[in-house]
């Protein structure tokens, strides 16, 4: 009975670990999987192997995966300006105040162990947000900057405070999007793979 229960839960946990969209959750499922396997070893009278499995698989491996996930999170930022015909990075970084802002956002991401990835396009906001793989969309419209971020994400809050403190002359407005919250949340949770869209 114990054996059958553990086997069924092992199968369920394995499927969950593979199918989960949030990588951090699959790491946790894998840790529980290893813990159950070590119970199974104990049930089969192999305590040596059970100790090794419990320590290595559900302790060290989980720690290793979690730190790796934390280190290599990608934070995708999109900068759009419909006025440009073609956009190169030069337009933004050329020593202007807006270039400084983007640089500041980059530094902000690096300080939080995120890997900033900035994309500049002349596409419209609708086209960009329909692609749905950006955590932060910055849109320039004449003299106004609008930053679209998820309302649930605490990083956007911190960023807003930072920009209000240092960049109040830039006419920045924050727009919180609620409907794409699941996507943004998931990417911030450590999913580095491409979203299927």
Partner 1 sequence: MSERSIVSTITGLLYPFVVLFGVYIIVNGHDSPGGGFQGGAILAAMFIGRYIVDPTNDLAIGRAVLVEKAIFAAIVVIPAALVLSLAAQQTVWLREPYLIAMNLLIGFKVAIGLTILVFRYAFYEDS
Residue from 9, 10, 22, 59 touching partner 1 (CB under 8 A): that is 59
Determine contact, residues 79/38, Cβ cutoff 8 Å.
no
Lay out the site mask for partner 1 across 76-105 (x = CB under 8 A, - = otherwise).
------------------------------
Does residue 71 belong to the site contacting partner 1 (CB under 8 A)? yes
Q: Using alpha carbons only, give the angle 88, 116, 152 rounded to the nearest 5 degrees.
A: 120
CB of 41 to partner 1, least distance (A): 11
Give me 23's structure tokens. Answer: 């990588």
Residue from 60, 83, 127, 164 touching partner 1 (CB under 8 A): that is 60
Rank residues 53 and 150 by Cβ distance to partner 1 and give the closer one.
53
Rank residues 38 and 129 by Cβ distance to partner 1 and give the closer one.
38
Residue from 8, 14, 18, 68 touching partner 1 (CB under 8 A): that is 68
Rank residues 54 and 100 by Cβ distance to partner 1 and give the closer one.
54
Rank residues 8 and 64 by Cβ distance to partner 1 and give the closer one.
64
Is the alpha carbon torsion for 46, 48, 49, 52 positive or negative?
A: positive
- Applying CB under 8 A, the span of 11-19, 51-59, 75-83, 174-182 interacting with partner 1 comes to 51-59
Strand partners, 150: 177
Please, which residues have CB within 8 angstroms of residue 169's CB and are 6 or more apart in sequence? 97
For 6, phi then psi, to 5°, come to -65, -40
Rank residues 71 and 130 by Cβ distance to partner 1 and give the closer one.
71
Q: Is 16 exposed, middle or buried (0-12, 13-18, 19+ CB in 10 A)?
A: middle
Lay out the site mask for partner 1 across 11-50 (x = CB under 8 A, - = otherwise).
------------------------------------xx-x
Determine contact, residues 149/105, Cβ cutoff 8 Å.
no
For residue 176, the tally of other CB atoms under 10 A from its CB is 15
């Amino acid at each position: 009975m114990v054996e059958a229960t553990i086997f069924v839960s092992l199968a369920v946990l394995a499927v969950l670990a593979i199918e989960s969209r949030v990588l951090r959750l699959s790491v946790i499922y894998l840790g529980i999987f290893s813990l159950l396997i070590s119970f199974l070893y104990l049930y089969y009278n192999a305590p040596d192997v059970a100790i090794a499995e419990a320590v290595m698989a559900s302790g060290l491996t989980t720690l290793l995966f979690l730190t790796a996930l934390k280190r290599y999170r990608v934070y995708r930022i999109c900068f759009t300006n419909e006025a440009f015909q073609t956009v190169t990075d030069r337009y933004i970084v050329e020593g202007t105040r807006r270039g400084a802002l983007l640089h500041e956002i980059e530094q902000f991401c690096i300080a939080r162990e995120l890997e900033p990835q900035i994309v500049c396009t002349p596409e419209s906001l609708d086209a960009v947000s329909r692609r749905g793989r950006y955590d932060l969309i910055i849109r320039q419209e004449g003299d106004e900057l609008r930053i679209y971020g998820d309302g649930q994400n605490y990083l956007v809050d911190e960023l807003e405070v930072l920009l209000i403190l240092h960049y109040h002359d830039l006419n920045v407005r924050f727009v919180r999007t609620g409907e794409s919250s699941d996507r943004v949340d998931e990417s911030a949770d450590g999913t580095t793979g491409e979203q299927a869209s």
